[in-house]
Amino acid sequence: MEPRSDLLAGTGSGRQAGPHERADAARNRAKVLTAAAELFATRDPRAVTMDDIAKAAGVGRGTLYRRYPDTNSIAVALLDEHERALQEKLLAGPPPLGPGASPAERLAAFYAAMVELLDAHAHLVLGAEIGGARFATGAYGFWYAHVRALLVAAEIREPDAMVDPLLALLAAEVYRKQRERGLDSEQITDALRTIAEAVLGDAQPAKRE
């Protein structure tokens, strides 16, 4: 069973501009996101403050807080486009990332795609995962539903107990530490593939309904 396509609605990571957003509000939003992206990329994302972003964007604190309650929500908004693109590939893209491959192949492909995402945007993921915020994002809910569906398709016992541990392997802090230790993306991806194959074994592709 695949995550339903309606899970995409609301799983995006950030607030989107409304259909009647004023021109000045749109400009301020763009300035905030541009400034925040630069700060997250050049500093420790966990140390960036709302004051830092307001100053860098040249907007008042009130303007900033009206749209974003905290730095986490800004990092989540910056990730939104990239995460949605991956979600769409998981739902309807070609195998092994999309439907049609075995659960083990699909989990390995998901891991590889997430490593690519971390390669490009680990600084944003770190900003979005401050504290326990990782588990509250719509994107994490989508990843959870996808991995759980693969576990169920593979007829794994206690799938609910295994989803979070399998996703913990993709935590941005784990990825950063591995890179600091000298591992490259290919080595990380190969290790994750080994885990996917060990956990999901020889389960066959689920039949399309």
What are the tens digits of pLDDT across the range 169-206? 999 889 999 999 999 999 999 999 999 999 998 655 55
Joined tokens for residue 89: 């590939």
The candidate with the shortest Cα–Cα distance to 76, out of 144, 129, 6, is 129
pLDDT number for residue 115: 97
Q: Across the chain, what does the average pLDDT equal?
A: 85
Long-range (24+ apart) CB contacts under 8 A made by 68-73 are 68/15, 68/32, 71/36, 71/45, 71/127, 71/130, 72/127, 72/128, 72/129, 72/130, 72/133, 73/14, 73/15
Q: Give the ranges where 16-137 is alpha helix by DSSP (H).
A: 23-42, 50-57, 61-67, 71-92, 103-128
192 vs 13, which has greater pLDDT? 192
Residue-level pLDDT at 206: 53
Pick 133 or 145 by higher pLDDT: 145
User: Of 84, 62, 90, 64, whose CA–CA distance to 137 is shortest?
Assistant: 84
CA distances from 187 to 182, 193, 194 (A): 10, 10, 11
Q: Which residue has the tokens 């900033």?
A: 64
pLDDT at 126 over 60: yes
pLDDT at 91: 96
Handedness of CA 116, 108, 208, 160 (dihedral sign): negative
Domain parsing of the chain, residue ranges: 79-200
Q: Which position has the higher pLDDT, 204 or 72?
A: 72
For 161, the enclosing helix (H) or strand (E) is: helix 159-168
Lowest-confidence pick of 81-95, 118-132, 166-180: 118-132
pLDDT for 141-157, tens place per residue?
A: 999 999 999 999 999 99
**pLDDT class of 14 with cuts at 50, 70, 90:** very low
User: What is the structure's pLDDT at 205?
Assistant: 53
Select from 203, 195, 5 the least CA-distant residue to 98.
5
- 74 by Cβ neighbours in 10 Å (0-12 / 13-18 / 19+) ranks as buried
Sequence-distant (6+) residues with CB within 8 A of 57 are: 28, 31, 32, 34, 35, 36, 64
Total length of the chain: 209
- Using the predicted structure, report yes or no on whether residue 8 has a pLDDT greater than 50: no
Are 68 and 32 a contacting pair, CB within 8 Å?
yes
> Residue 6: its pLDDT value, please?
40
Mean per-residue pLDDT, 110-127: 91
**pLDDT band per the 50, 70, 90 thresholds, residue 3:** low
pLDDT more than 90, % of the chain: 57
pLDDT band, residue 12 (cuts 50/70/90): very low
At residue 133, the pLDDT reads 72
